Structure 1
């Protein structure tokens, strides 16, 4: 535990939550950039795969990479909670982070009162990054569909 749970101010909570959010934003930007660049290169190559197969591969590859990325982002939040001692002892940190990140929040585990803002900050970060992923999937699928003019 890095920060004592005594005398934790709102500013401390916002600083820690903003730091974790920023790290996740950078991780997600790198992931989305790599996916977009790879798919752009794939679209520029002449392929012998039928459009349906290429379309399916784009969906599966993009979805798989994004799920892995979101899992990693939840792990960053879990380590953040551990680092500051934001949850009760013996809490499954990954479970807690996923619940907050996805806004599911079962309510069976709550942060210690001194760190209560980290849950909503995790949720805000998760909503933003999941929305960004959704936009990427939509854009990539939209671009990967070959129109008769593009098929030449």
Structure 2
């Protein structure tokens, strides 16, 4: 149990670092992106900037889902990539279909995956609110 919690905590810390660094990257470039789009897209510049930001945020979440999938593979919780990735995505998004589950030795990671996704999606929502505010 302690080993599962340690692994899950490490993965959560890594995913938070990934999201923080990627959001920082977008934040430092967002005003430049907005100016570029206003020059060429005129009336649709704000919409274009928000679309790119949403796609970027989805990329960040995809990276975090892949991180969890790799952890599930490395721990031996799943033997192949497809169920590992599927389970990571379903758990991270808190959909939780339950059609695939972790073995009892690793099931604490499913809750940690869901908690991680829940927190990072909340952070992403707050971040998007700030980006929309910056387009005004």
TM-score, normalising length from structure 2? 0.90
Aligned length: 135
How many Å apart are 1:82 and its aligned residue?
0.8
Kept in 1, the 8 Å contact 2:92–2:116? The answer is yes
Q: Secondary structure at the match of 1:92?
A: helix
Aligned CA distance change for structure 1 residues 136 and 125 (closer, same or farther; 3 Å): same
Matched, 1:57 2:65: no
Give 1:83's match in structure 2, choosing from 74, 87, 105: 74
Runs of 4+ in 1 over 2 A off after TM superposition: 40-45, 47-52
- Cα deviations by residue, 1:97-116 (Å, 9 ceiling, x for unpaired): 00000000100001000111
How many Å apart are 1:51 and its aligned residue?
5.9
Structure showing greater radius of gyration is 1
Q: Secondary structure at the match of 1:107?
A: coil
Equivalent residue number for residue 114 of structure 1: 105
Matched, 1:102 2:102: no
Equivalent residue number for residue 7 of structure 1: none
Equivalent residue number for residue 144 of structure 1: 135
Give 2:119's match in structure 1, choosing from 128, 135, 140: 128
Q: Distance in 2 between matches of 1:102 and 1:123?
A: 7
RMSD: 2.0
TM-score, normalising length from structure 1? 0.81
Structure 2: segments with no counterpart, 5+ residues: none
- Report which of the two has the higher share of helix: 2
